[in-house]
Amino acid sequence: MRPVTPLLTVDAIIEMPDERIILIKRKYPPPGWALPGGFVDPGESLAEAVRREAFEETSLNIESVRLFHIYSKPWRDPRGDTVSVVYCCRAEGIPSGGDDAAVAEAFSPESFPPDIAFDHRKILNQFLDWKRTGRLPSVEE
């Protein structure tokens, strides 16, 4: 019997030229706004997965700039255990929701919506802290 392990996901912190960040309003539960992302398909690299998921949910072609952090705390997703590889990305254009995203919109850090799903508010706060200070999140996050 194969052991049960967390599912592998990718998330994209997509910065626009004006430093706004793209969030998607989820079409399916759990509700709320989230970073664009999703599950890695078999035979797909992490870089391919983040580009695919970002395009499917925002219609934007992204440039992956760097790996930001890996989040693996159990039950960070109410649907079950996941490990998320989060990338810092850039894009230009007008986002448009698609696939699992009802809406895709750019927000300034001061105007993030209150209802952010999963642990994505924590991820966004850690990203903004890294931009200000140069400190990456601890490996325990």
Provide the residue ranges of all domains of the chain, joining segments of one domain with +.
7-133
Cα distances (Å, whole numbers) of residue 141 to 57, 71, 86, 135: 26, 6, 12, 13
Q: Could you tell me the sign of the dihedral formed by the alpha carbons of 42, 43, 45, 48, in that order?
A: negative
Specify which residues 123 forms β-bridges with.
none
Is residue 16 within 8 A of residue 91, CB to CB? The reply is yes
- Could you tell me which CATH number the domain at 7-133 has? 3.90.79.10
- Give me the sign of the Cα torsion angle 96, 101, 102, 104: negative
Q: Where are the alpha helices (DSSP H) in the chain?
A: 46-58, 120-133
Global pTM exceeds 0.85: yes
pLDDT class of 76 with cuts at 50, 70, 90:
confident
Single-letter amino acid code for the residue at 12: A
**Confidence band of 122 (pLDDT split at 50, 70, 90):** very high
CA distance 5 to 83: 10
Average pLDDT over residues 93-117: 95
pLDDT of residue 74: 84
Segment 49-63, tens digit of pLDDT: 999 999 999 999 999
Question: What is the C-alpha to C-alpha distance for residues 63 and 81, in angstroms, rounded to an integer?
Answer: 28
